[in-house]
C-alpha cells in the first residue's frame, strides 16, 4: 500500500453541488457557503462556472459570486470554462484556476457541451493557451471515466485517449470523474491507470459521485494508488443536469472523517465543515446528505 500522508480536497459544492438545484440559490448564500468552506480549512474551492445561462440557469450569477467572495491568500478558487466566451468572462473575475471539462464518452460530450470529444478539445485549446499565458492554472475534468448514462460502461482506453488529448493541449492536471457514481473500486483503479499513461500521480484527482454508495470505497481505492487530490461536495450536494438520476459528489464530511481516522492530514476542521454543510442544507430545506454530518449533528443534540 502506498497511502499518502496528506490529502488535498477541492470542495466543489458551490459549483457541482448547486448547479443542479431547481430553485435559484441567491448569490449571497453561495458566497456565504464559500466563506464557511474557507473558514473550515478548505484550500481549494470550485466556486462557479461560466457556462450558458440557458443551459445551467443556476450558474448565471457567476460574476456576482466570484466578485463577492472575500478571498484569502493560500486558497485556490477555481471555475469552469467550456469555451473562449466562458474564459473571457471568467478572467475578469481573476480565478486562480480554470477548468475545461470533457468526457470519455461521445454521447455525454454531445449532451453536456453540445460537441464531440474532438471538437471539445479544439474549443479548449485556445482557452488553455490563454489561461497559461495569463498565469492561471488549468485543470481538466474528465467525465464518465467508468460509465456513461447514454453509452453504459466506458473502457479505460477511452479515458487514456481523453487524458492524452488533454495533455497535448497543455492541461496541467486532470480529474478522473465518475459522473453517475456507477464506479466500483477496481473499475476506478483501471480508469486511473489509464490516466497515468499521460499524467503523474500528483496531477490526477478523483471526483466520485455517490449515486450507488461507492464513492468512499472508490476514494480508498484511489488513495491506495497514491492519489492524494480529490473533489468532494459539502453535505453531499449535487449532480449534473446532463446525467439524470446521478446524485451528488461524495460528501466532504465523509471523506474528512475517513481520512482523519486513517491518520491522513487534510487541514480541515470537521466541526466547522459540518456547520457549513448544515448552513447550505438548511437553506435548501433538507438535511445534509452525509452520514458523518448526520451522526455528528445527532451527537451534538444528545
Question: Of these, 16, 97, 253, 254, which contacts ligand HMG (CB under 6 A)?
Answer: 16
By beta-carbon proximity to ligand HMG, the closer residue of 185 and 275 is 185
Question: Of these, 39, 55, 75, 260, which contacts ligand HMG (CB under 6 A)?
Answer: 55
By beta-carbon proximity to ligand HMG, the closer residue of 80 and 196 is 80
Q: Contact between 110 and ligand HMG (CB under 6 A)?
A: no
Residues 6+ apart with CB under 8 A from 262: 3
Which one of Mg ion, ligand HMG, none interacts with residue 227, CB within 5 to 8 A by kind?
none
Q: What are phi and psi of 106, to 5 degrees?
A: -60, -45
Q: Which set of grid coordinates corresponds to residue 238?
A: 449535487
Q: Which set of grid coordinates corresponds to residue 176?
A: 478522473
Q: Is 148 part of the annotated catalytic residue set?
A: no
Return the percent helix, strand and coil in the chain, to nearest 5.
Answer: 45, 20, 35
Site string (204-233) toward ligand HMG, x via CB under 6 A: ---x-x------------------------
* Region near ligand HMG per CB under 6 A, out of 192-200, 238-246, 259-267, 290-298: 238-246
For the CB of residue 177, give the shortest distance to Mg ion in the complex, in Å: 6
Q: Length of the chain, please? A: 302
| DSSP-based three-state secondary structure for 48 | strand
By beta-carbon proximity to ligand HMG, the closer residue of 86 and 183 is 86
Q: Which set of grid coordinates corresponds to residue 78?
A: 477555481
Count other Cβ atoms within 10 Å, centred on residue 117.
Answer: 19
For the CB of residue 32, give the shortest distance to ligand HMG in the complex, in Å: 22
The answer to whether residues 34 and 14 touch, using CB atoms and an 8 Å cutoff, is yes
Angle subtended at Cα 176 by Cα 146 and Cα 230, rounded to the nearest 5 degrees? 130
Which one of Mg ion, ligand HMG, none interacts with residue 112, CB within 5 to 8 A by kind?
ligand HMG
Question: Of these, 48, 83, 232, 247, which contacts ligand HMG (CB under 6 A)?
Answer: 83
Which sequence positions are flagged as catalytic? 240
Amino acid at each position: 500500500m502506498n497511502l499518502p500522508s496528506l490529502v488535498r480536497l477541492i470542495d466543489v459544492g458551490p459549483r457541482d453541488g448547486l448547479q443542479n438545484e431547481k430553485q435559484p440559490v441567491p448569490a449571497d448564500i453561495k458566497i456565504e457557503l464559500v466563506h464557511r468552506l474557507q473558514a473550515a480549512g478548505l484550500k481549494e474551492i470550485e466556486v462557479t462556472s461560466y457556462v450558458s445561462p440557458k443551459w445551467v440557469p443556476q450558474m448565471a450569477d457567476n460574476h456576482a459570486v466570484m466578485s463577492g467572495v472575500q478571498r484569502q491568500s493560500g486558497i485556490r478558487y477555481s471555475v469552469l470554462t467550456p469555451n473562449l466566451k466562458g474564459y473571457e468572462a471568467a478572467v475578469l473575475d481573476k480565478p486562480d484556476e480554470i477548468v475545461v471539462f470533457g468526457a470519455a464518452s461521445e454521447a455525454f460530450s454531445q449532451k453536456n457541451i453540445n460537441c464531440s470529444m474532438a471538437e471539445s478539445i479544439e474549443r479548449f485549446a485556445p482557452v488553455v493557451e490563454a489561461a497559461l499565458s495569463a498565469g492561471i492554472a488549468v485543470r481538466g475534468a474528465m467525465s464518465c471515466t467508468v460509465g456513461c448514462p447514454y453509452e453504459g460502461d466506458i473502457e479505460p482506453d477511452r479515458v487514456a485517449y481523453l487524458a492524452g488529448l488533454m495533455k497535448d493541449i497543455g492541461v496541467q492536471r486532470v480529474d478522473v470523474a465518475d459522473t453517475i457514481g456507477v464506479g466500483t473500486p477496481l473499475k476506478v483503479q483501471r480508469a486511473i491507470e489509464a490516466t497515468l499513461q499521460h499524467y503523474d500521480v500528483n496531477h490526477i484527482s478523483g471526483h466520485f459521485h455517490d449515486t450507488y454508495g461507492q464513492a468512499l470505497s472508490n476514494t480508498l481505492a484511489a488513495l491506495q494508488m497514491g492519489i492524494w487530490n480529490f473533489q468532494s461536495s459539502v453535505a453531499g450536494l449535487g449532480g449534473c443536469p446532463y446525467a439524470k438520476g446521478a446524485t451528488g459528489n461524495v460528501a466532504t464530511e465523509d471523506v474528512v472523517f475517513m481520512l482523519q481516522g486513517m491518520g491522513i492530514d487534510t487541514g480541515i476542521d470537521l466541526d466547522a465543515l459540518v456547520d457549513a454543510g448544515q448552513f447550505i442544507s438548511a437553506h435548501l430545506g433538507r438535511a445534509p446528505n452525509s452520514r458523518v454530518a448526520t451522526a455528528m449533528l445527532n451527537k451534538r443534540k444528545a
